[in-house]
Structure formats: structure tokens, C-alpha cells
Amino acid sequence: MVKAVVKIGGKQFIVSEKDTLLVDLLPEGTKKLELDALLIIDGDNTQVGKPIVKGVKVSAKVLEDFVKGEKIRVIRYKAKKRVHKENGHRQKYSKIQIISIK
């Protein structure tokens, strides 16, 4: 099984074919992605890019846009001041599937 390390939205992911990922929200209308591989792992053979591995592309397609993540509660509190504030946040993601590593 071939694995690759790709960079999407400032974050690095280890992927293989037919993996599904939640990545930061992509621009609207994006259907397919062509990503550069930073590292390739093929059994015992490993290729490290400088900064990318030449001739290797990772293809992905967008399954869903605007997937909401879990709710995160943010609490601000000041001791002895009777001050507290609670906010909630749900990050928006895009769901992608890796098609092939060529």
C-alpha cells in the first residue's frame, strides 16, 4: 500500500488511496484537487521530497462542502470579579476522498 504526505491548507496529512479526510473549508465550486506529495512510503522504499517529490501527484475529489465539526465551548472567566462569558464555535470543513497516488 502506497502512502503519501500531502499539505492541504497549511496542515500535513498522511493519506493512502480511498481515504476520506476532513480538511479546512475549500473555496466554493472546488470539485477536484491535484496535490503535491511531500513524502512517499511504498513498503520499505521511502522517498523524501525537497520540498516535493518530483513526478508524484495525489488526486482527490470533494465529497461534501460545508461540513460542521463538533461544537467547542469557549469560557472566559475572571476570578473574584463576577465576570464570565461563554461562547460556542463549530469549525466548517470540506470532506474529500483520495482517488489515486500517481
pTM, 2 dp: 0.84
Q: Which structural domain, as residue segments, surrounds residue 58?
A: 2-101
Nearest to 36 by CA among 4, 75, 63: 4
Q: Quick one: pLDDT band at residue 59, thresholds 50, 70, 90?
A: very high
pLDDT tens-digit series, residues 14-36: 999 999 999 999 999 999 999 99
| C-alpha distance from residue 99 to each of 35, 61, 74 (Å) | 11, 7, 37
Mean pLDDT (whole number) for 39-59: 95
User: For position 58, what pLDDT does the model report?
Assistant: 97
Q: How many structural domains compose the chain?
A: 1
